[in-house]
């Protein structure tokens, strides 16, 4: 067998023509192009040579063993280490390659089955609780390091060469074949009954195995998808609630006969701003995440709504009586600051840039509106584009918005539809992202990393709405929810409306409102779905609407 060299062949019988015999020169081997010299050569030749150690696999070199720099040389079956701090013959030591190779294979020899006593015809090693028997015992006893200069091999000399047994005799696959093998500290004995004695016992090439790169392994399977985590705010029966994403620990934060709406989390997740008519007209309020410390922020003459937190969590922008106003939430003595005002054509729906230095907002009624941007430091006002409902990207370089566009004149049931557009924050690069015939696309929201957009698509012909995710440039739109043809309504109990998508902070899940469509749209509750379209929908809470995920600071 070419893989191994016979254990019991006498070194003097091996006489390749290309070996240099002079003790004054290195002894070199054409088979591997490596030489042995000095003390390592002497040790190799005195203690069995090729049958015991095999061919050299490296030059003598400095290696790190157990944290120490040692001069060593690799051979097919061993690693010879120089330890000049010891007197001969202990100035050359053998590496524990049996242990090393097992460790490299991820196997712990301490877990192998053991014995408690000697078997007939065997030698029992109490130190590791293994028996060595038959042909392997004979080979172990016949070979060893030369310590005492006496004829024959003592047990101490065999132990010094091979070490203690680490395993029982056990079947293992080697080079595609199954053999009975036994591991030792410095060797692996293999039985080859297909050969006649003494060639039926071979030593494994542990030096090669120890130096070989670890075998390539298949990448571990991806972890099983985990369930949604975090917490959401939502509206139920006109009050503000929170709930864990797994459906546990639902808490009612507000209890008032008036309607509370549009919960918006502060960036640190400790407070929620919302609008309410509890004091007669619509005003902006703030409440702690546990329902404490309810605070009315606005004192409008007509109404206030659309709260939007600045990234610093201190300032809150909102629409009040046609103006865009900013309030310092943490300073009760601070006066609200009016950014811009138009009592006739209201400003509304402010959104912050990611750095908190600019506000974008809408001017005028839906259908006849423009989007403007205010630089808060300079007061400069810039008209960006026609449109409504701006949504700033997480990176601050782009804005999504909605705009009505004309429909082909031969479509008689409508004269225009809503499309989603994107524009750079400097007013350049306006592009229509959605141009779906017979559909309105709206309620766009950026993924947390800014690479995707979720939105609601109203399919006019079916009177139903689906939630869609697309790339930030409008590519690859994918419907995450199903809508039902009229023919299936008897089976499904009606059509389906899925709307108002909200991203989880990690971008993995989307929360949405779900309605059943019959003669009217009947609210069913909040549903969670994976943003990549895999997995099953999860019903979060019945009767809930306006979901908003708590940020993760």
pLDDT tens for 58-71 read 999 999 887 889 99
Q: Which two tokens stand for residue 133?
A: 């028997």
Spatial distance between the Cα atoms of 38 and 18, rounded to a whole number of angstroms? 19
Neighbours of 167 (CB within 10 A): 21
pLDDT given for residue 19 in this prediction: 39
CA dihedral 55, 58, 59, 65 (to 10 degrees): -110
Q: Which two tokens stand for residue 215?
A: 């075998």
Lowest mean pLDDT among 85-89, 195-199, 207-211, 412-416: 412-416
Query: Phi/psi class of residue 44: alpha, beta or left (left: φ > 0; alpha: ψ in -120 to 50)?
Result: alpha
Q: CA nearest 46: which of 118, 146, 116, 130?
A: 146
Lowest mean pLDDT among 87-96, 143-152, 195-204: 143-152
The CA-based angle 315-318-319, given to 5 degrees, is 155
Is the pLDDT assigned to residue 74 strictly greater than 80?
yes
C-alpha distances in Å from residue 316, one per residue of 264, 308, 319, 325, 494: 11, 6, 10, 8, 41
Q: Which two tokens stand for residue 123?
A: 């030698």
SS3 track for 234-273: EEECCEEEEEECCCCCCEECCCCCCCEEEEEECCCCCEEE
Strand partners, 359: 352, 374
> Do the beta carbons of residue 362 and residue 347 sit within 8 Å?
yes
pTM: 0.61
> Do the beta carbons of residue 53 and residue 32 sit within 8 Å?
no
> Do the beta carbons of residue 540 and residue 245 sit within 8 Å?
yes
Q: Which two tokens stand for residue 155?
A: 């047990």
Pairing, β 271-276 against β 260-265: antiparallel
Confidence of residue 13 (pLDDT cuts 50, 70, 90): very low
Spatial distance between the Cα atoms of 287 and 22, rounded to a whole number of angstroms? 93
Handedness of CA 187, 188, 194, 200 (dihedral sign): positive
Question: Across the beta sheet with 271-276, what order do the strands follow?
Answer: 260-265, 271-276, 283-288, 295-296
pLDDT digits (tens, 9 = 90+) for 397-426: 999 999 988 766 555 445 568 999 999 999
Distance, first Cα to last Cα, the chain: 65
Confidence of residue 492 (pLDDT cuts 50, 70, 90): confident
């Amino acid at each position: 067998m070419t893989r191994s060299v016979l254990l019991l062949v006498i070194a003097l019988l091996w006489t390749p023509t290309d070996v240099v015999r002079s003790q004054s020169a290195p002894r070199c081997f054409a088979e591997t192009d490596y030489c042995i010299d000095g003390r390592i050569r002497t040790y190799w030749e005195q203690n069995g040579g090729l049958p015991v150690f095999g061919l050299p696999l490296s030059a003598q070199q400095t290696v790190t063993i157990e944290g120490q720099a040692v001069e060593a040389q690799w051979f097919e079956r061993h690693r010879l280490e120089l330890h000049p701090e010891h007197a001969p013959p202990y100035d050359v030591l053998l590496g524990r390659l049996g242990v090393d190779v097992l460790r490299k294979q991820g196997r712990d020899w301490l877990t192998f089955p053991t014995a408690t006593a000697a078997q007939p015809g065997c030698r029992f090693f109490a130190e590791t609780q293994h028996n060595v028997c038959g042909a392997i015992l004979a080979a172990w006893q016949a070979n060893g390091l030369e310590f005492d200069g006496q004829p024959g091999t003592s047990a101490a000399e065999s132990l010094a060469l091979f070490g203690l047994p680490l395993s029982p005799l056990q079947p293992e696959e080697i080079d595609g074949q199954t053999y009975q093998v036994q591991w030792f500290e410095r060797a692996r004995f293999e039985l080859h009954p297909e050969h006649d004695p003494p060639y039926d016992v071979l030593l494994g090439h542990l030096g090669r195995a120890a130096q070989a790169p670890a075998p390539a392994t298949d990448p571990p399977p991806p972890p099983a998808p985990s369930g949604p985590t975090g917490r959401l705010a939502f509206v139920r029966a006109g009050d503000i609630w929170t709930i864990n994403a797994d459906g546990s620990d639902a808490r009612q934060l507000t209890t008032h006969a008036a309607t509370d709406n549009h919960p918006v989390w502060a960036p640190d997740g400790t407070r929620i701003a919302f609008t309410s008519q509890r004091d007669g007209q619509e005003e902006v309020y703030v409440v702690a995440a546990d329902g404490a410390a309810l605070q009315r922020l606005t004192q409008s003459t007509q109404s206030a709504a659309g709260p939007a937190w600045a990234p610093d969590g201190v300032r809150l922008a909102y629409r009040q009586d046609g103006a865009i106003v900013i309030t310092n939430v943490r300073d009760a003595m601070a006066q609200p600051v009016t950014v811009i005002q138009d009592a006739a054509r209201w400003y509304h729906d402010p959104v912050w840039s990611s750095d908190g230095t600019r506000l974008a907002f809408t001017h005028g009624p839906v259908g006849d509106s423009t989007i403007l941007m205010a630089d808060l430091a300079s007061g400069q006002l810039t008209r960006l584009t026609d449109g409504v409902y701006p949504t700033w990207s997480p990176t601050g370089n782009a804005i999504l918005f909605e705009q009505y566009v004309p429909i082909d004149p031969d479509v008689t049931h409508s004269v225009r539809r809503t499309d989603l557009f994107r524009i750079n924050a400097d007013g350049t690069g306006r592009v229509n992202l959605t141009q779906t015939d017979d559909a309105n696309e709206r309620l766009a929201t950026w993924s947390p990393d800014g690479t995707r957009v979720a939105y609601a698509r109203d399919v006019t012909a079916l009177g139903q709405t689906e939630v869609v995710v697309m790339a930030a440039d409008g590519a690859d739109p994918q419907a995450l929810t199903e809508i039902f043809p009229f023919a299936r309504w008897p089976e499904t109990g009606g059509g389906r409306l899925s709307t108002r998508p909200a991203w989880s902070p990690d971008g993995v899940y989307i929360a949405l409102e779900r309605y059943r469509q019959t003669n009217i749209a009947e609210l069913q509750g909040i549903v969670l779905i994976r943003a990549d379209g895999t997995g099953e929908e999860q019903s979060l809470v019945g009767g809930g609407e306006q979901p908003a995920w708590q940020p993760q600071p």
